[in-house]
Structure 1
Amino acid sequence: MATPQIFLNKVFTVTGAAQGIGLAVARYLAARGANLALADVKRQELELAVEKINKDFPDNEVTSTVVDVSNTHAVDSWFAETMSTFGKLDGAVNNAGILGTFAKITEIKDEDWQRVERVNVGGTMRCLRAELKIMEEGGSIVNLSSVAGLIGFPGLTPYVASKHAVIGLTRCAAKEAGPRNIRVNAICPGPIETPMLDEVYVGTELPKGPIARDGKPEEIAALVGYLLGEESKYTSGACVPVDGACFAC
């Protein structure tokens, strides 16, 4: 059975698109007809990802740009380039983020704190700011927070604080953008099979929940697709945990 082309002629941006959740989201949207502007700081991985997407979905227009979301000029230039190429923006997925280093609060270094907040909070803010200036009325934005944005994890305070802040950004943006019929939501993944999860397991053990496995990036991508699509037109300001009932319940 052919995949329904529910995003045909739609234009979406995705940050952190070279691997993990961002790549799964890009492939999910491309399979449903979307044109994509993809960004990541990892040039080689991004180019390989886009090459594969172009091969698998030759009818889609897909661009790739190396973007450091902690840099305002880089973010603004990317969105200007996206508008020049596609002429519009229907939706966006703000997924770029880093884990940072494991340390107790008493041992956190200023530079480690600032690096995580600059990427995870500042990067989401910079993208939101640019998106809300150009997005079509009726558009949708999905921010990637984490279950770490809902609860605490010892040893990961900069990351946890940044993901709590992403939820705050999401709720403010939903209020501000609502009059333009633009929806802004957040997803809070638990342990998902990604390179970042490998980093987590180096530093700590995570308990298994009632659904006793790690999640798959494609399972997050499906929820992103729902929140970007027509079936969620009255959903905004939501922060949805996807963790197999491990942490959020």
Structure 2
Amino acid sequence: MTTLALQPFATKAILVTGAAQGIGLAIARYLARRGANLALADRKKAELESASAAIAKENPDVKIMSRAVDVSNTHEVNAFVADTVRTFGKLNGAVNNAGILGKWGNIEDIKDEDWQRVQQINLGGVMRCLRAELGVIEEGGSIVNMSSVAGLIGFPGLSPYVCSKHAVIGLTKCAAKEAGARNVRVNAVCPGPIVTPMLDEVYHGTTLPTPPIARDGQPEEIASVVGYLLGDESKYTSGVCIPVDGAGYAC
């Protein structure tokens, strides 16, 4: 097997937000094992540093930079993307994964500040990252935004989260139209119930129906789909939103 087949992202520089745990960490590990140099961001500085050190130990030939970043802060996002380009000389791909669940509650009980916090991070954070990334990404690059199956259906008690994830899909489709002339692809992934700290939050608030593939998904199963969208196998795929949910919600 050739080195290219073993490390399809060798020489590539890829940015991942929300990389300290869960899906973001699984994506970072997947990409590092396949040769990518990584710019990792998360609000949780200690957890991010620990994750980055572990990935670097596992992949000594991969270059990794990490930064505590609040994606609701335009200055921090812009600085992180600019530092990524300064460090690696380019940006080939990005995964805009940072997000929060927010508080449970019916629509009539939503407080303005709770609504705004979810939108600022889940939607505004993706917009800020996407805006900065599109300004510097190499021709032929690929960006993956993290939506959710909650971005495809309604879900009681989580309308701020659901609306933010629907909007990420709309933003993804707009970006794909705008960036296509430069051969830049923009897609979204819509995870179902995946074994992460966020799923623990969900299960504290409700019970989910069992999908036909009768188990919760693993973060690595999202990472492999993200890897496909970032890689050369999907060069003609843009503006799509791929559910990964065991056929439970999006069918």
* Paired letter, 2:238: S
Task: Give 1:67-146 correspondences, 5 Å limit.
Answer: 67-146=69-148
| Correspondences of 1:146-225 after superposition (within 5 Å) | 146-225=148-227
Name which of 19, 24, 30 aligns with 2:26: 24
After superposition, the CA RMSD in angstroms is 0.9
1:29 Cα offset (Å): 0.2
Q: Secondary structure at the match of 1:81?
A: helix
Residue-by-residue CA offset, 1:72-101 (whole Å, 9 max, x unaligned)? 000001011111111100000000000000
Q: Normalization by structure 1: what TM-score?
A: 0.99
Runs of 4+ aligned structure 1 residues displaced above 6 Å come to none
**1:59 partner amino acid:** D
Describe the superposition over 1:106-137 as per-residue Cα deviations: whole angstroms up to 9, x where unpaired.
Answer: 00000000000000000000000000000000
Question: 1:235 deviation in Å?
Answer: 0.3
**1:153 shift after superposition:** 0.5
SS in 2 for 1:98: coil
For 2:146 and 2:110, locate their aligned partners in 1 and report how far apart those are by CA, in whole Å: 24
1:33-58: CA deviation from partner (whole Å, max 9, x where unpaired): 00000000001110110010011000
Unaligned 5+ runs, structure 2: none
Aligned to 1:44: 46
Equivalent position SS for 2:41? strand
Q: Name the amino acid aligned to 2:139.
A: E
Report the AA paired with residue 53 of structure 1: I
- CA offsets 1:1-22 (integer angstroms, 9 cap, x no match): 9971100000000000000000
Distance 1:188 1:246 in 2: 12
- 2:57 corresponds to 1:55: yes
Q: Distance in 1 between matches of 2:165 and 2:7?
A: 32
Distance 1:135 1:54 in 2: 24
One-letter identity of the residue aligned with 1:142: V
Q: Counterpart of 2:10? A: 8
- Identity of matched residues, %: 72
Give distance in 1, aligned partners of 2:149 and 2:86.
36
Give 1:220 deviation, angstroms: 0.3
Q: Which amino acid aligns with 1:61?
A: K
Shift of 1:221: 0.2
The answer to whether structure 1 residue 241 and structure 2 residue 238 are counterparts is: no
